[in-house]
A and B are shown apart, each in its own frame.
Chain A
Amino acid sequence: MQQPPPATPQRLHIDLIQHPRGTAVRVIGELDYDTAPELLTTLQHVVAEYPGPVVLDCAEISFCDSSGLNALLRARRNASEHHRPLILVAPSRATVRVLRMTGADAVFGTASTVEEALGT
């Protein structure tokens, strides 16, 4: 055995949470090269399977690098192709930092609570 396959398991945890007004994706942990593909796949799945805005609860993202941002941007692109907004809820400090630095904060809708985001 050479390189073990990139291990994703425990650093990122993704849940779909059903709220009274719709479904939100909750992300807990680190978003980087190894973990970002799982988030992207989940968000693409949500766009395909659930109606309404794509709501991403970012309050518990502890780290986000350029690959994490790339996944968010690709998810946004995918959502907008389906005429659906991607809304970031309560982005954590780590998320805000990378969004600000790269100017990407301009392209995402944000909300302070999931309920607010689902109401849009």
Chain B
Amino acid sequence: MSSRETAGGRDMLPADRADDRSPGRRGVVSGSAGPGIGRLESAVQRVRAALPLPSETADARAMVDCAVGILMERGRLNVARARAQLDEMAETAGTGILQTAADLLAHAPHQGPAGASAPGGDVPAYGVEGHQAAQALLDNALHPLGAHAVAVWAQASDGTLHLAGQAGFPADALPAAQPRTTAGTPDTVARRAVAGAAVAWSSAQEPVPSGRPCHTSRAAAPAYLGGQIVGALEVCWLEPPDRDAHLERSLNALADLAAHTLTLDTQPLSAAHAAVPDTDVTRLADSLPDPVMVLTPAFDARGQLSDFTIAYTNDRFQDLAGRPATCVVRRGLRQTYPAFTRPGGLWEKVEHVLATGEPYRSEDFPLHTQVGTVKVTTEAQLGVSRINDHVLVTWRLQDENAQRLGSLLQHAQRLGRIGGFEDDLASGRTTWNQELYDLFGNQEGTPPLPLAELRERVHEDDRDSFDAFRTTVTRYHKAASVALRVRRSDFVIRHVRITAEPVLHGDELVAVRGACQDVSAHHWTEVALDATRDQLAQTQAHVSEQARLTRQLQHAIMPATPQTTQVRGLDIAVRYRPASQDHAVGGDWYDTVELPGGTVLIAVGDVAGHGIGAATGMVALRNALRGLAATGAGPAQLLAWLNNVAFHLTDNVTATAICGIFDPATRTLCWARAGHLPPILLSQDPPRQLTSGPGILLGALPDASYTEQQLTLNPGESLLLFTDGLIERKDDIGQDDLIGTLADTAYPRDKSLSDQLDHLLAHSRSDTDDDTCLIGVHIPSEL
């Protein structure tokens, strides 16, 4: 409902007609003096009985009846019309009839910002009704507590307290308004209650607002509505009452009750308040240079503040515990930052700011959070303010490293290598947990080292950083964090991040506690620890795409199907066996091509590694060799050039290769090798591996030279070239195995070259899942 409607209602309710209600109204709430008072009376009974809310149906019925009464009065309607209007309002608001009725009632004795905007002569701004409400409160609830006067104050948006109603005070004992004091401590008990968000008591000397002392003991309690303080209830006694917790609880409850009779120029919150801040608030948050968290109060079924929802964070916001923003936004503050609820913690400040609207600011506010089992406290410049129904929390961390502390600790938790320590300076005792013993390689049972003695374990180049870190903690009493190389007791060096915080008692440093995290793993392997699942999935998609491309590339150049060709009368058979795993597609290649002078190039090579890098390296080298061979240069020169290509023109490709040039006219093979296994000759004699001179693999040095060997092949003889996938074994005896297989009587020496290669592949005992390339060159008898 809009305030205009309510304001209209008030206008039609002259003070002197308060007891002269329409018959319909009287019939609904018999014996009541007005809607506000009638409701107050029944509510007071509830508070006094200190019982849970009475039966819902009776309560609901009374509420709807009251609301109908208000509408009848306002629009001078009959019961049926008024009820129809209520139904219509409920439908429009979409909140249900009970909620609509409750809203109507909450706003019924509408006072508006009258005191601030339109004083309007000598008629009290809050009308007779407020005084009647106060009288009902005094008669029903406060007399039993021994009080004899009460005043209800409503707070306007400018902070002024307006007298909304009073009973028991002499006429003119109270002013119509208490302006907000701009400096110094609040001077009246009601002001103090509002400012302190707690029950305040007057001292004997304190003047009453009017300046006429008339009561011996006064107390005021803040009046809450929807978590915000909307005014105060001031109560006076002639005899000082017992100031106990029970009395304060009663005063607080009555003050909250009185809050329902007050209506202010700010819409009070309802329990169903939307948790999403409006764009003005989010824009404001976005415009601020510091991290901002927008909190929306959440209420329980009884309208009590139960938690704050972290409704929005700006893009500068970083969780103190290193969690992604999605783990924080739209969660409860209590659940997300349990440590904030410690006494004196952020929770108290936020609650106070919501209640009073007074902004809070601190230059060095301790923010507590917990990562796993590690408690982290960071000092921050903190600002808390209320805007509309939200609370804006903004902070700037004192130590920029602290911003990263939370995420580092998250890493630590994942690594499971976090050591904790505490140096108790009073007793001189140091405590380590098991993980810290492991981290420093110290035997459990040996005395733990205090922070000062860890220095000798720190790498000498890092000792300055260590000293600065210690000074920050022990002299300046600030939490600090540093990454260092430390030497374990077994002389192994680890990269460790040490985080420590001072434990202060007053200004005195009583202990230093902290945590050590072994960060060696991500120093070295750059494992994408903070990769999100998305990135991982993307990487996997990328990997499988790469594997597909690599295989396509490989197949284009190195057909996996058995091949037998004839080049210038030579029988050449090739087998290529890819590695079984997709990602292991490798860089093996072979080439046999007739050169311009009538000679034949025979080459086999193996690029280190596998995957797309190896395959592209293979393509580059194979094509380069083909082009270079057309110059007519010899194998040694070709390999030297190819080495240049590998070293300078590729991205750190190394490869082994054999390059041979066969001249059919003389049956001479001139060959050279670059780090590759020499060929095996199959002749009448037992199979033997050709001997060769030195020849470094391709790509290791900017310049390399190679030596050539000559070999005349007789008709019927064969030469076998292969890559190490055929023989490579982890126990490294594969080469002898191959000769053994060839020499064995089971070897199909008299069958076709293809059969022979298949036999070799079948009997290969390689266990490294490398790809394998095998070439057989046979000199036919008739060549």
A59-118 contacts to B, CB under 8 A, are 62-63, 65-67, 69-70, 73-74, 77, 93-94, 97, 101-104, 106-107
CB pair A41–B526 under 8 Å, yes or no, is yes
How far does the alpha carbon of A94 sit from the alpha carbon of B676 in the complex, in Å?
A: 16
From known contacts A6-B583, A74-B652, infer whether A66 and B608 are also in contact, taking CB-CB under 8 Å.
Answer: yes
CB pair A14–B524 under 8 Å, yes or no, is yes
Residues of B within 8 A of A14 (CB): 524
CB pair B701–A67 under 8 Å, yes or no, is no
Q: What are 5 A-B pairs with beta-carbon distances under 8 A? A: A15-B492, A33-B609, A67-B610, A74-B652, A77-B652
How far does the alpha carbon of A104 sit from the alpha carbon of B543 in the complex, in Å?
A: 31
Closest chain B residue to A38 by CB distance? B525
CB pair A45–B523 under 8 Å, yes or no, is yes
B345-367 contacts to A, CB under 8 A, are none
CB pair B525–A8 under 8 Å, yes or no, is yes
Partner of B675, one of A32, A62, A63, A101: A101
Residues of B within 8 A of A41 (CB): 524-526
From known contacts A16-B492, A18-B487, A66-B654, infer whether A106 and B696 are also in contact, taking CB-CB under 8 Å.
Answer: yes
Residues of B within 8 A of A32 (CB): 768
Having A5-B536, A69-B608, A104-B697, one finds 15 other A-B pairs with CB under 8 Å, namely A3-B547, A16-B492, A17-B492, A17-B493, A37-B525, A45-B524, A66-B607, A66-B656, A67-B609, A70-B654, A101-B677, A102-B676, A102-B696, A103-B674, A104-B700
A-B contact count (CB 8 A): 106
Closest chain A residue to B609 by CB distance? A67
Instruction: Report if B552 contacts A (CB, 8 A).
Output: no
- Which of A3, A19, A74, A102 has most chain B Cβ within 10 Å? A102
CB pair A65–B543 under 8 Å, yes or no, is no
CB pair A42–B524 under 8 Å, yes or no, is yes
Closest chain-A Cβ to B652's Cβ sits at a distance in Å of: 5
Partner of B493, one of A1, A16, A94, A97: A16
Instruction: Report if B732 contacts A (CB, 8 A).
Output: yes
A1-57 contacts to B, CB under 8 A, are 1-3, 5-6, 8, 14-19, 23, 30, 32-33, 37-38, 41-42, 45, 49
Instruction: Report if B310 contacts A (CB, 8 A).
Output: no
CB pair A70–B540 under 8 Å, yes or no, is no
CB pair B608–A67 under 8 Å, yes or no, is yes
B456-488 contacts to A, CB under 8 A, are 459, 461, 485, 487
Instruction: Report if B584 contacts A (CB, 8 A).
Output: yes
Closest chain-B Cβ to A116's Cβ sits at a distance in Å of: 18
SS class of chain B's interface: helix, strand, loop or mixed? Answer: mixed
How far does the alpha carbon of A94 sit from the alpha carbon of B724 in the complex, in Å?
A: 14
CB pair A106–B732 under 8 Å, yes or no, is no
Closest chain-B Cβ to A9's Cβ sits at a distance in Å of: 10
Closest chain-A Cβ to B547's Cβ sits at a distance in Å of: 8
Closest chain-B Cβ to A77's Cβ sits at a distance in Å of: 8
Partner of B654, one of A30, A49, A69, A97: A69
From known contacts A16-B493, A17-B492, A41-B524, infer whether A69 and B697 are also in contact, taking CB-CB under 8 Å.
Answer: yes
Closest chain-A Cβ to B105's Cβ sits at a distance in Å of: 59
CB pair A2–B700 under 8 Å, yes or no, is no
Partner of B696, one of A1, A74, A107: A107
How far does the alpha carbon of A73 sit from the alpha carbon of B698 in the complex, in Å?
A: 11
Instruction: Report if B319 contacts A (CB, 8 A).
Output: no
CB pair B730–A2 under 8 Å, yes or no, is no
Q: Which residues of B contact A (CB under 8 A)?
A: 459, 461, 485, 487, 491-493, 523-526, 536, 539-540, 543-544, 547, 582-584, 606-610, 652, 654, 656, 674-677, 694-697, 699-701, 724, 728, 730, 732, 768, 770
Closest chain-A Cβ to B648's Cβ sits at a distance in Å of: 12
Closest chain-B Cβ to A117's Cβ sits at a distance in Å of: 16
Closest chain-B Cβ to A65's Cβ sits at a distance in Å of: 7
How far does the alpha carbon of A106 sit from the alpha carbon of B526 in the complex, in Å?
A: 31
Question: Number of A interface residues, CB 8 Å?
Answer: 41
How far does the alpha carbon of A83 sit from the alpha carbon of B526 in the complex, in Å?
A: 25
From known contacts A41-B526, A63-B730, infer whether A106 and B694 are also in contact, taking CB-CB under 8 Å.
Answer: yes
CB pair A65–B524 under 8 Å, yes or no, is no
Closest chain-A Cβ to B537's Cβ sits at a distance in Å of: 9
CB pair A73–B700 under 8 Å, yes or no, is yes
Residues of B within 8 A of A107 (CB): 696, 700-701
How far does the alpha carbon of A33 sit from the alpha carbon of B611 in the complex, in Å?
A: 10
Residues of A within 8 A of B526 (CB): 41
Partner of A3, one of B492, B583, B609, B728: B583
CB pair A70–B656 under 8 Å, yes or no, is no
CB pair B524–A66 under 8 Å, yes or no, is no
Closest chain-A Cβ to B223's Cβ sits at a distance in Å of: 59
Closest chain-A Cβ to B697's Cβ sits at a distance in Å of: 4
Residues of B within 8 A of A63 (CB): 730, 732
Closest chain A residue to B579 by CB distance? A33
CB pair A70–B544 under 8 Å, yes or no, is no
CB pair A70–B701 under 8 Å, yes or no, is no
**CB-CB nearest 5 A-B residue pairs:** A102-B675, A103-B696, A66-B608, A16-B493, A70-B608
Closest chain B residue to A14 by CB distance? B524
Partner of A5, one of B485, B539, B674: B539
Closest chain-B Cβ to A56's Cβ sits at a distance in Å of: 14
CB pair B724–A66 under 8 Å, yes or no, is yes
How far does the alpha carbon of A18 sit from the alpha carbon of B526 in the complex, in Å?
A: 23
Closest chain-B Cβ to A86's Cβ sits at a distance in Å of: 12
From known contacts A30-B730, A70-B654, A103-B696, infer whether A65 and B492 are also in contact, taking CB-CB under 8 Å.
Answer: no
Closest chain-A Cβ to B675's Cβ sits at a distance in Å of: 3
Closest chain B residue to A15 by CB distance? B492
Closest chain-A Cβ to B636's Cβ sits at a distance in Å of: 13
CB pair A65–B699 under 8 Å, yes or no, is no
How far does the alpha carbon of A35 sit from the alpha carbon of B221 in the complex, in Å?
A: 71
How far does the alpha carbon of A74 sit from the alpha carbon of B697 in the complex, in Å?
A: 13
Partner of A2, one of B461, B544, B656: B544
Closest chain-A Cβ to B158's Cβ sits at a distance in Å of: 62
Closest chain-B Cβ to A91's Cβ sits at a distance in Å of: 13
Residues of B within 8 A of A30 (CB): 730
Closest chain A residue to B525 by CB distance? A38
How far does the alpha carbon of A14 sit from the alpha carbon of B492 in the complex, in Å?
A: 10
Residues of B within 8 A of A16 (CB): 485, 492-493
Closest chain-A Cβ to B391's Cβ sits at a distance in Å of: 43
- Which of A15, A33, A65 has most chain B Cβ within 10 Å? A33
How far does the alpha carbon of A107 sit from the alpha carbon of B703 in the complex, in Å?
A: 12
CB pair A104–B675 under 8 Å, yes or no, is yes
CB pair A102–B697 under 8 Å, yes or no, is yes
CB pair B654–A5 under 8 Å, yes or no, is no
Residues of B within 8 A of A69 (CB): 608, 654, 697
CB pair B654–A2 under 8 Å, yes or no, is no
CB pair A103–B694 under 8 Å, yes or no, is yes
Residues of B within 8 A of A67 (CB): 608-610
